[in-house]
Structure 1
Amino acid sequence: MLTAFTNGTIYTGAQVITGKTLLTEQGKIQALVNPAEVPSEATIVDCNGHIIAPGLLDLQIYGGGGYLFSAHPSPEALNAMAQALVKSGTTGFLLTLATDTMEVFHECIRIVRNNPHPAVLGMHLEGPYINPVKKGAHTLELIKRPERAELESLLTAAGGIVKMITVAPEMCDPAILRWLDAQGVILSAGHSNATFNEAMEGFRNGIRAVTHLFNAMSPLQHRDTGLPGATFRDNSVYASIIADNIHVDDNALIISKKVLGDRLFLITDAVEANNTGASLHVAQEDRFTRPDGTLSGSRLTLMRAVQRCVQYAGIPLDEALRMATVYPATLMGIKDRGRIEPGCRADLVVFDHQYTVKNVYIAGAQQ
């Protein structure tokens, strides 16, 4: 079906366009045309002066729709999580698991493999190959160093759906890092106490990203700038950041954006309340914590993170949207999402100037 999205400001990921109509057909972006050029057979969607943007992409989220997935791995939980995220404007996400047992990892992988959803980009394993010193909300007893045999078993079972693994570079044999990189897994440094030199060595051995910049990592100090300093110094590594003014102060967001530019992208790190298993989360007014009060996750949506970037960090809306679309898609190597251009999948979010989501489309279908 040919659909024409009219009367909206279109943020394509490359430019901001007004006075044009967006055409989609068979789940793909077809063209941007003048209103007079819209074919008569097209179904018209009046966007009422709202903003039309690519669907948002979240590369680190653990739960939604009332479920923490690792504690309730089931098709029902996966579907509820995906539906909740899509309604919030996120049309693609990496379902993330924190440090847990291999049994839990394998069961979660099995459920995701057997129940594909158009919004699930794959899985992100945050741990267990992290530094106990920077464990944050992770369970100490389950943290370990990576072994090739265990990873081979895990990736074989995953069949390609494990797209990202967060590791502490100082806890990993460089040969393991290089092997994981060769398997096509995106390695991200996090929950790490790495020195500047250890972090840079990790980057040379295949680590391409940094997980939730500043949180659960060595600090940036003047005698050893640690993992944050290495991230700033490197010219190619990406970094995610949780823009809620809780995980990081808005000034840290502003400084990081000035230094990293198009290498900084947004994640939510969002969880759900849970009182069973390895990941325990207690809902607070503006965050989640472990029962002992340790910060354990956000209550963000990606749209609210975009809003905060604009309103509190002074980042223009088109750039804030790229931080939640183009840049994570680029890191992932996904060429048909995160942009509005011919041939891309028609994943779209329509929202008003108060950042309220009005409509969401996946492959051109209204959700």
Structure 2
Amino acid sequence: MSDGNQVTAIVHAKLVTPHSVIDNGVIVVKDGRIAECGSHKEIAVPEDAFIIDAEGQYAGPGFIDIHCHGGGGHWAWEEPYLFALSHLKHGTTGILPTLFYNQSRENMLEGVRNVVQMEKQPFSSAIVGMHLEGPYINPKYGAITSPIRPPDPDEYHALLELAGDRIKVWTLAPELPGQEEFAEAAAKYDIALSVGHSEADAETIFSFVRYGLQIGCHCTNASGTTPSPSRYGGTREVGVDEAVLVHDDIYAEVIPDANGIHVRPLMCKLIYKTKGTDKVIIITDGMDTAGLPSEPGDPFEDVNYVEGLGLSGSRLTMDRAVRNMMRHTGAGIVDAFIMASLNPAKVLKLDKEMGSLEKGKRANIVIVTGDIEVKQVMLEGKLYKEG
């Protein structure tokens, strides 16, 4: 079995690149990186290579999930390593443990500390940073509102001092007092800001782009549709989601569950059509139940539904999310991998290291069927085997 140090060759694969699918492709892996990648007519397989036969299936870059709270029965901030492993087997080779807005100041600090201090173990490099969803969001749009709070300089400076640029994404509601000062502090660490749980008007959202606002958090979920009463009877104002759709420099996160509960299939298609392949990011918004089996015929099979609270995240893993996005929008496999791998790598500024099959990048590779059923997962040249 490949251990990441020996030369490995993936053969008989349909290679999913950002431009096309290369039939009968070859990937040569050495020292945890892609040494060669292309058609079998162009790439020589080293004689001493450990061979992985893809058997005509698709080989693409591992998925990157920038918004995920849990999985496999584990919360991301409590058991970050076990959380990451639970998603790795579903093809996610890059993940951001995502802390909730419903955590107290003490719990937020402890959770960030758990991720920062995580002991290095095999496959732990799947964790590529962290995402803080709040707590500086609009309480009108939180399922659990009591811990939501205004920006607190003492708190956010403590978090920044503790984690710095390991915080890759931070979700905020720009309309709240004190957010510009917070955004300026976050910008020093090159953190991608995300507008979410918000009713900010378009002008306010656009004004935060200079601070690094690059993401619309789980579009069409928990966002204001009309930031102010309609000025003219029978007309619609521009809300958060419309502002995200129209701005060329903002990516749109999408949670594509099977039954279109988070985002209706037609809305998925509208977001995909409006933003274009290069500005959509597929996410799971997974809870601790993500990846666990659901009851046959359960209409909420991909959704975390809490009695009394309603919709609260998902049970999705990225393989299922990608499959659903393709079904809802008609996107082909090349576009699907761009939205699930390359785009998140770009927003995290990690695209020189991961996100596509290119020579010199980390050998983070997933082999899947045309219906995105995961057959093999490789992280930095090492094959992942559960257990």
Instruction: Please confirm whether the aligned pair reaches a TM-score higher than 0.5, indicating the same fold.
Output: yes
Structure 1 or 2: larger helix share? 1
- Structure 1 residue 34: deviation in Å? 5.1
Q: 1:1-367 to 2 correspondence within 5 Å?
A: 1-32=6-37, 35=40, 37-70=44-77, 73=78, 77-99=79-101, 100-115=103-118, 116=120, 117-135=124-142, 137=143, 139-171=144-176, 172-219=178-225, 222-244=235-257, 245-261=260-276, 262-273=278-289, 285-334=301-350, 335-367=352-384
Question: How far apart are the structure 1 equivalents of 2:18 and 2:239?
Answer: 33
Question: What stretches of structure 2 of length at least 5 have no aligned partner?
Answer: 1-5, 291-298
Task: Give the aligned residue type for 1:364.
Answer: G
Question: How far apart are the structure 2 equivalents of 1:181 and 1:34?
Answer: 42
- Structure 1 residue 204: deviation in Å? 4.2
8 Å contact kept, 2:194–2:217? yes
Question: How far apart are the structure 1 equivalents of 2:289 and 2:328?
Answer: 28
- Structure 1 residue 350: deviation in Å? 0.6
- Structure 1 residue 14: deviation in Å? 3.1
How many percent of aligned residue pairs carry the same amino acid?
32
8 Å contact kept, 2:23–2:39? no
Task: Give the aligned residue type for 1:310.
Answer: M
8 Å contact kept, 1:23–1:33? no
- Structure 1 residue 336: deviation in Å? 0.7
8 Å contact kept, 2:14–2:59? yes
Relative to structure 1, is the Cα distance of residues 301 and 273 closer, same or farther in structure 2, using a 3 angstrom cutoff? Answer: closer
SS in 1 for 2:146: helix
224-233 vs 12-21, which moves further? 12-21
- TM value normalised by structure 1: 0.91
79-88 vs 337-346, which moves further? 79-88
18-27 vs 325-334, which moves further? 18-27
8 Å contact kept, 1:126–1:167? yes
Question: How far apart are the structure 2 equivalents of 1:159 and 1:183?
Answer: 6
Question: How far apart are the structure 2 equivalents of 1:41 and 1:12?
Answer: 26
Relative to structure 1, is the Cα distance of residues 285 and 232 closer, same or farther in structure 2, using a 3 angstrom cutoff? Answer: closer
Relative to structure 1, is the Cα distance of residues 310 and 273 closer, same or farther in structure 2, using a 3 angstrom cutoff? Answer: closer
Question: How far apart are the structure 2 equivalents of 1:39 and 1:13?
Answer: 26
Q: CA RMSD in A?
A: 1.9
Task: Give the aligned residue type for 2:116.
Answer: R
Question: How far apart are the structure 2 equivalents of 1:364 and 1:17?
Answer: 21
- Structure 1 residue 130: deviation in Å? 0.2
Query: 1:318-363 CA distances to partner (integer Å, 9 max, x unpaired)?
Result: 1011100010101111021111101100000011123211110000
Query: 1:206-235 CA distances to partner (integer Å, 9 max, x unpaired)?
Result: 312110011000126853211112112212
Question: How far apart are the structure 2 equivalents of 1:330 and 1:196?
Answer: 24
Relative to structure 1, is the Cα distance of residues 286 and 347 closer, same or farther in structure 2, using a 3 angstrom cutoff? Answer: closer
- TM value normalised by structure 2: 0.86
Aligned length: 352
95-104 vs 304-313, which moves further? 304-313
Question: How far apart are the structure 1 equivalents of 2:363 and 2:104?
Answer: 38
8 Å contact kept, 1:7–1:46? yes
8 Å contact kept, 1:57–1:93? yes
Task: Give the aligned residue type for 1:218.
Answer: G
8 Å contact kept, 1:178–1:206? no
Task: Give the aligned residue type for 1:254.
Answer: K
Question: How far apart are the structure 1 equivalents of 2:301 and 2:334?
Answer: 30
322-331 vs 285-294, which moves further? 285-294
